[in-house]
Structure 1
Amino acid sequence: MNDGPRYVDDLPDLIQADEYDDYPDGNLVRLRVSFTENGLEILGDGMRPEALEALLRRIGSGPIDQMLCG
């Protein structure tokens, strides 16, 4: 069960700053799926964090690592 995000210092960017003008509605989400020694890892990046978080919760109930932006 997911009890909320775990905050981490760094996560890779899947969306670059120069792409934001191409998506004025902010509806871009990118996912990278990897198989690791710990199992399936899904890395997501989205212009609207709430949309990405909702998608990740629908995919599974594991922990969500989140980086504070600002």
Structure 2
Amino acid sequence: MTEHRYVESLPDLISPDEYADHPDGALVRLRITVTGNGVEVLGDAMRPEHVEALLAAAGLRNIQQMLCG
């Protein structure tokens, strides 16, 4: 089962100046890092449901999220 935890901040992988280049909002960016504790997957998307679907399909056990807006 996946555990979701809200955090204050996460690094941005998409900058605001990229939004004009992707009017459909379909840009998703992932950063995969091997750490001493395993593999860390950081995702950012113009539309949260796109990155959420990718992370869910990957079967990750722990997902940190931040509230935007």
Q: TM class, shorter-chain normalised?
A: over 0.9
Partner of 1:2: 2
- Per the TM alignment, residue 63 of structure 1 is displaced from its structure 2 partner at its CA by 1.0
Letter in 1 for 2:2: N
Deviations along 1:10-53, one digit per CA (max 9) or x if unpaired, are 10000000000000000000000001111000000000101110
In 1, Cα distance between equivalents of 2:53 and 2:18: 22
Gaps of 5+ in 1: none
- Per the TM alignment, residue 61 of structure 1 is displaced from its structure 2 partner at its CA by 2.9
TM-score relative to the length of structure 1: 0.93
Runs of 4+ in 1 over 4 A off after TM superposition: none
Percentage identity across paired residues of the two chains: 62
TM-score relative to the length of structure 2: 0.94
Partner of 2:26: 27
- Across the aligned residues of Structure 1 and Structure 2, the Cα RMSD in angstroms comes to 0.9
Number of aligned residue pairs: give it: 69
Partner of 1:15: 14
Gaps of 5+ in 2: none
